[in-house]
Structure 1
Amino acid sequence: MLFRNCAGGVVFYANHVLLIKNEKNEWVLPKGLIRNGDLSSDVAVKRVKAETGVEAEILSTAGETSYEFFSISRQKPVNNRIIWYIMQAKSKRVELDKTLNFKDGGFYPVVKALKMITYSQDKSLVSLSYKKYKDLKKEKSALAI
Protein backbone atom coordinates (compact mmCIF):
# COMPACT_ATOMS: atom_id res chain seq x y z
CA MET A 1 0.00 0.00 0.00
CA LEU A 2 1.16 3.49 -0.84
CA PHE A 3 0.77 6.00 2.03
CA ARG A 4 0.47 9.68 1.13
CA ASN A 5 0.27 12.75 3.35
CA CYS A 6 -1.93 15.56 2.07
CA ALA A 7 -3.24 18.91 3.29
CA GLY A 8 -6.37 20.86 2.48
CA GLY A 9 -8.66 23.70 3.39
CA VAL A 10 -12.17 24.03 4.71
CA VAL A 11 -12.61 27.54 3.32
CA PHE A 12 -15.37 29.83 4.53
CA TYR A 13 -16.66 33.17 3.35
CA ALA A 14 -19.34 34.36 5.78
CA ASN A 15 -21.84 31.47 6.03
CA HIS A 16 -20.64 29.84 2.79
CA VAL A 17 -18.10 27.05 2.29
CA LEU A 18 -15.94 26.34 -0.76
CA LEU A 19 -16.66 23.08 -2.63
CA ILE A 20 -15.34 21.69 -5.89
CA LYS A 21 -16.73 19.00 -8.17
CA ASN A 22 -14.05 16.62 -9.42
CA GLU A 23 -13.86 14.49 -12.57
CA LYS A 24 -15.83 11.70 -10.82
CA ASN A 25 -18.71 14.15 -10.11
CA GLU A 26 -17.86 14.11 -6.38
CA TRP A 27 -18.28 17.29 -4.34
CA VAL A 28 -15.08 17.62 -2.32
CA LEU A 29 -12.81 20.10 -0.56
CA PRO A 30 -9.56 21.41 -2.07
CA LYS A 31 -6.48 19.43 -1.05
CA GLY A 32 -3.11 18.29 -2.32
CA LEU A 33 -0.09 16.12 -1.72
CA ILE A 34 2.63 17.25 0.72
CA ARG A 35 5.99 16.95 -1.08
CA ASN A 36 9.66 17.58 -0.37
CA GLY A 37 9.25 18.42 3.31
CA ASP A 38 6.78 21.26 2.64
CA LEU A 39 4.74 22.44 5.61
CA SER A 40 1.19 21.11 5.59
CA SER A 41 -0.16 24.62 6.18
CA ASP A 42 1.69 25.96 3.12
CA VAL A 43 0.43 23.09 0.97
CA ALA A 44 -3.17 23.72 2.08
CA VAL A 45 -3.02 27.44 1.18
CA LYS A 46 -1.27 26.75 -2.15
CA ARG A 47 -3.71 24.00 -3.19
CA VAL A 48 -6.76 26.12 -2.40
CA LYS A 49 -5.28 28.87 -4.57
CA ALA A 50 -4.14 26.52 -7.36
CA GLU A 51 -7.40 24.58 -7.63
CA THR A 52 -9.91 27.38 -7.12
CA GLY A 53 -8.10 30.71 -7.47
CA VAL A 54 -9.26 31.58 -3.93
CA GLU A 55 -6.86 33.44 -1.65
CA ALA A 56 -7.47 32.38 1.92
CA GLU A 57 -5.78 32.63 5.29
CA ILE A 58 -5.58 29.89 7.90
CA LEU A 59 -7.51 30.57 11.10
CA SER A 60 -7.06 27.23 12.85
CA THR A 61 -6.55 23.52 12.42
CA ALA A 62 -9.65 21.49 11.58
CA GLY A 63 -8.46 17.91 12.12
CA GLU A 64 -7.51 14.93 9.98
CA THR A 65 -9.27 12.46 7.73
CA SER A 66 -8.04 9.50 5.76
CA TYR A 67 -9.35 7.27 3.02
CA GLU A 68 -8.18 4.36 0.91
CA PHE A 69 -8.69 3.57 -2.75
CA PHE A 70 -7.22 1.32 -5.40
CA SER A 71 -5.09 3.23 -7.89
CA ILE A 72 -5.58 1.79 -11.36
CA SER A 73 -2.53 3.66 -12.70
CA ARG A 74 -0.28 2.43 -9.88
CA GLN A 75 -1.96 -0.99 -9.60
CA LYS A 76 -1.93 -0.82 -5.80
CA PRO A 77 -4.01 0.46 -2.88
CA VAL A 78 -3.38 4.04 -1.72
CA ASN A 79 -4.04 5.56 1.69
CA ASN A 80 -4.40 9.34 1.77
CA ARG A 81 -4.10 11.05 5.17
CA ILE A 82 -5.25 14.69 5.01
CA ILE A 83 -4.49 17.41 7.52
CA TRP A 84 -7.23 20.04 7.29
CA TYR A 85 -7.20 23.75 8.11
CA ILE A 86 -10.08 26.14 8.71
CA MET A 87 -9.58 29.07 6.36
CA GLN A 88 -11.22 32.37 5.59
CA ALA A 89 -11.39 33.58 1.99
CA LYS A 90 -10.65 37.18 1.10
CA SER A 91 -13.47 37.16 -1.49
CA LYS A 92 -16.15 34.85 -2.94
CA ARG A 93 -14.60 34.88 -6.41
CA VAL A 94 -13.72 31.38 -7.66
CA GLU A 95 -11.72 30.52 -10.79
CA LEU A 96 -11.48 26.75 -11.14
CA ASP A 97 -8.39 25.29 -12.78
CA LYS A 98 -10.06 23.23 -15.51
CA THR A 99 -6.71 21.61 -16.38
CA LEU A 100 -7.04 19.77 -13.03
CA ASN A 101 -10.35 18.30 -14.28
CA PHE A 102 -12.64 20.18 -11.92
CA LYS A 103 -16.12 20.48 -13.40
CA ASP A 104 -17.77 22.95 -11.03
CA GLY A 105 -17.26 24.75 -7.77
CA GLY A 106 -17.89 27.78 -5.67
CA PHE A 107 -19.03 28.99 -2.29
CA TYR A 108 -22.29 27.43 -1.14
CA PRO A 109 -24.38 28.12 1.97
CA VAL A 110 -23.19 25.66 4.62
CA VAL A 111 -26.64 24.03 4.99
CA LYS A 112 -26.85 23.43 1.23
CA ALA A 113 -23.20 22.32 1.03
CA LEU A 114 -23.72 19.65 3.68
CA LYS A 115 -26.31 18.07 1.38
CA MET A 116 -24.03 18.33 -1.66
CA ILE A 117 -20.80 16.91 -0.19
CA THR A 118 -20.19 13.37 -1.41
CA TYR A 119 -18.39 11.78 1.56
CA SER A 120 -19.77 11.56 5.09
CA GLN A 121 -16.43 12.28 6.75
CA ASP A 122 -16.18 15.50 4.72
CA LYS A 123 -19.71 16.42 5.83
CA SER A 124 -18.69 15.95 9.46
CA LEU A 125 -15.49 17.91 8.90
CA VAL A 126 -17.37 20.87 7.38
CA SER A 127 -20.04 20.82 10.09
CA LEU A 128 -17.52 20.80 12.95
CA SER A 129 -15.27 23.31 11.19
CA TYR A 130 -18.19 25.72 10.67
CA LYS A 131 -18.97 25.67 14.40
CA LYS A 132 -15.31 26.36 15.19
CA TYR A 133 -15.16 29.07 12.50
CA LYS A 134 -18.17 30.89 14.02
CA ASP A 135 -16.58 30.66 17.49
CA LEU A 136 -13.30 32.05 16.15
CA LYS A 137 -15.16 34.94 14.49
CA LYS A 138 -16.98 35.72 17.77
CA GLU A 139 -13.70 35.71 19.70
CA LYS A 140 -12.09 37.99 17.13
CA SER A 141 -14.93 40.52 17.23
CA ALA A 142 -14.98 40.41 21.07
CA LEU A 143 -11.25 41.22 21.09
CA ALA A 144 -11.79 44.11 18.70
CA ILE A 145 -14.18 45.84 21.10
Structure 2
Amino acid sequence: MLRERERGLEVLLIALKEGRVWSLPKGQVEQGEHHPQTAVREVREETGIQAEVLAPLGSIRYHFTVKDEGIQTTVTKEVYHFLMAYLAGEPTPQKEEVDGVGWFPVGEALRRLSHQNERDMIYRALERWEALPQRPTPTR
Protein backbone atom coordinates (compact mmCIF):
# COMPACT_ATOMS: atom_id res chain seq x y z
CA MET A 1 0.00 0.00 0.00
CA LEU A 2 1.45 3.30 -1.10
CA ARG A 3 0.30 6.86 -0.86
CA GLU A 4 1.92 9.91 -2.33
CA ARG A 5 2.34 12.89 -0.06
CA GLU A 6 3.81 16.27 -0.83
CA ARG A 7 7.05 15.14 0.85
CA GLY A 8 7.20 11.77 -0.96
CA LEU A 9 5.81 8.24 -0.99
CA GLU A 10 4.75 6.44 2.17
CA VAL A 11 4.19 2.74 2.85
CA LEU A 12 1.54 1.31 5.17
CA LEU A 13 2.91 -1.25 7.65
CA ILE A 14 1.49 -3.27 10.51
CA ALA A 15 3.21 -4.29 13.75
CA LEU A 16 2.80 -7.84 15.07
CA LYS A 17 4.10 -9.80 18.07
CA GLU A 18 3.98 -6.81 20.43
CA GLY A 19 5.74 -4.60 17.89
CA ARG A 20 8.73 -6.92 17.38
CA VAL A 21 7.72 -7.73 13.77
CA TRP A 22 6.80 -5.20 11.09
CA SER A 23 4.98 -6.50 8.05
CA LEU A 24 2.72 -5.72 5.13
CA PRO A 25 -1.01 -6.28 5.76
CA LYS A 26 -2.21 -9.71 4.62
CA GLY A 27 -4.81 -12.34 5.39
CA GLN A 28 -6.89 -15.35 4.46
CA VAL A 29 -9.02 -15.60 1.33
CA GLU A 30 -12.64 -16.07 2.30
CA GLN A 31 -15.04 -18.27 0.36
CA GLY A 32 -16.12 -16.61 -2.87
CA GLU A 33 -13.32 -14.02 -2.81
CA HIS A 34 -10.61 -13.44 -5.36
CA HIS A 35 -7.13 -12.40 -4.20
CA PRO A 36 -7.57 -8.67 -5.01
CA GLN A 37 -10.83 -8.57 -3.00
CA THR A 38 -9.07 -10.26 -0.10
CA ALA A 39 -6.27 -7.69 -0.21
CA VAL A 40 -8.70 -4.75 -0.04
CA ARG A 41 -10.75 -6.36 2.75
CA GLU A 42 -7.72 -7.35 4.84
CA VAL A 43 -6.14 -3.90 4.58
CA ARG A 44 -9.43 -2.35 5.73
CA GLU A 45 -9.87 -4.85 8.59
CA GLU A 46 -6.27 -4.80 9.84
CA THR A 47 -5.55 -1.09 9.40
CA GLY A 48 -8.79 0.88 9.01
CA ILE A 49 -7.57 2.13 5.61
CA GLN A 50 -9.66 1.95 2.43
CA ALA A 51 -7.60 1.13 -0.64
CA GLU A 52 -7.84 0.18 -4.27
CA VAL A 53 -5.80 -2.41 -6.16
CA LEU A 54 -3.75 -0.95 -9.00
CA ALA A 55 -1.69 -3.96 -10.12
CA PRO A 56 -0.57 -7.44 -9.02
CA LEU A 57 2.97 -7.74 -7.62
CA GLY A 58 3.33 -11.49 -7.24
CA SER A 59 3.26 -13.85 -4.30
CA ILE A 60 5.43 -14.93 -1.39
CA ARG A 61 5.44 -18.54 -0.24
CA TYR A 62 6.72 -19.33 3.22
CA HIS A 63 6.69 -22.14 5.76
CA PHE A 64 6.40 -22.22 9.53
CA THR A 65 5.96 -24.86 12.19
CA VAL A 66 3.13 -25.05 14.71
CA LYS A 67 3.02 -27.30 17.73
CA ASP A 68 -0.34 -28.54 19.03
CA GLU A 69 -0.58 -31.10 21.81
CA GLY A 70 3.03 -32.12 21.22
CA ILE A 71 2.57 -32.68 17.48
CA GLN A 72 4.60 -30.49 15.14
CA THR A 73 3.10 -29.58 11.79
CA THR A 74 4.69 -27.59 8.98
CA VAL A 75 2.32 -25.09 7.43
CA THR A 76 2.88 -23.61 3.98
CA LYS A 77 1.29 -20.29 3.09
CA GLU A 78 1.26 -18.28 -0.09
CA VAL A 79 0.47 -14.58 0.13
CA TYR A 80 -0.51 -12.59 -2.96
CA HIS A 81 0.59 -8.97 -2.93
CA PHE A 82 -0.79 -6.05 -4.91
CA LEU A 83 0.20 -2.48 -5.60
CA MET A 84 -2.52 -0.62 -3.76
CA ALA A 85 -3.35 3.06 -3.46
CA TYR A 86 -4.78 4.87 -0.45
CA LEU A 87 -8.39 6.06 -0.75
CA ALA A 88 -9.46 7.08 2.76
CA GLY A 89 -9.22 6.39 6.47
CA GLU A 90 -6.93 6.79 9.45
CA PRO A 91 -4.57 4.02 10.60
CA THR A 92 -6.35 2.03 13.30
CA PRO A 93 -4.97 -1.41 14.28
CA GLN A 94 -7.33 -4.39 14.42
CA LYS A 95 -7.04 -5.20 18.13
CA GLU A 96 -7.35 -8.98 17.79
CA GLU A 97 -4.50 -9.38 15.28
CA VAL A 98 -2.45 -6.20 14.89
CA ASP A 99 -0.43 -4.34 17.53
CA GLY A 100 0.17 -1.19 15.52
CA VAL A 101 -0.20 0.40 12.11
CA GLY A 102 1.38 3.39 10.47
CA TRP A 103 2.51 5.19 7.35
CA PHE A 104 6.28 5.39 6.90
CA PRO A 105 8.52 7.04 4.32
CA VAL A 106 9.83 4.38 1.92
CA GLY A 107 13.34 4.26 3.41
CA GLU A 108 12.07 3.84 6.94
CA ALA A 109 9.52 1.23 5.87
CA LEU A 110 12.28 -0.80 4.20
CA ARG A 111 14.36 -0.63 7.40
CA ARG A 112 11.41 -1.61 9.61
CA LEU A 113 10.17 -4.59 7.61
CA SER A 114 11.21 -7.81 9.31
CA HIS A 115 11.45 -10.01 6.21
CA GLN A 116 13.51 -9.53 3.05
CA ASN A 117 10.80 -11.01 0.81
CA GLU A 118 8.45 -8.20 1.89
CA ARG A 119 11.16 -5.60 1.23
CA ASP A 120 11.42 -7.11 -2.25
CA MET A 121 7.67 -6.55 -2.69
CA ILE A 122 8.12 -2.88 -1.80
CA TYR A 123 10.82 -2.58 -4.50
CA ARG A 124 8.41 -4.17 -7.01
CA ALA A 125 5.64 -1.82 -5.88
CA LEU A 126 7.91 1.20 -6.38
CA GLU A 127 8.80 0.07 -9.91
CA ARG A 128 5.13 -0.44 -10.79
CA TRP A 129 4.18 2.89 -9.17
CA GLU A 130 6.72 4.77 -11.29
CA ALA A 131 5.44 3.01 -14.44
CA LEU A 132 1.79 3.97 -13.85
CA PRO A 133 0.50 6.19 -16.65
CA GLN A 134 -1.43 8.24 -14.09
CA ARG A 135 -0.62 8.05 -10.40
CA PRO A 136 -3.23 8.67 -7.69
CA THR A 137 -3.51 12.29 -6.60
CA PRO A 138 -1.21 13.19 -3.67
CA THR A 139 -2.85 13.72 -0.28
CA ARG A 140 -1.63 16.07 2.43
> What's the TM-score once normalised by structure 1's chain length?
0.82
* Residue pair 1:27, 1:117 contacting (<8 A) in 2 also: yes
User: Could you say which residue in structure 2 is the equivalent of 1:5?
Assistant: none
C-alpha deviation, 1:35, in angstroms: 2.9
Question: What 5-or-longer segments of structure 2 have no aligned partner?
Answer: 136-140
What are the superposed Cα offsets for residues 60-107 of structure 1, whole Å, 9 maximum, x if unpaired?
00111111000224731101101111100114621111122x222211
Count how many residue pairs are aligned between Structure 1 and Structure 2.
128
Aligned equivalents of 1:129, 1:59: Cα separation in 2: 10
**Higher normalized helix content (fraction of residues):** 1
Aligned equivalents of 2:89, 2:50: Cα separation in 1: 9
From 123, 126, 131, the equivalent of 1:130 is 126
SS for the counterpart of 2:49 is coil
SS for the counterpart of 2:92 is coil
Q: Does 1:20 align with 2:14?
A: yes
Q: Does 1:44 align with 2:34?
A: no
Alignment of 1:68-107 (within 5 A): 68-73=63-68, 75-91=72-88, 93-100=90-97, 102-107=98-103
Q: Identity across aligned pairs (percent)?
A: 25
Q: Does 1:33 align with 2:28?
A: yes
4+ runs of 1 displaced by more than 4 Å? none
What are the superposed Cα offsets for residues 18-41 of structure 1, whole Å, 9 maximum, x if unpaired?
000112621001111113242111
> What's the TM-score once normalised by structure 2's chain length?
0.85
Q: CA RMSD in A?
A: 1.6
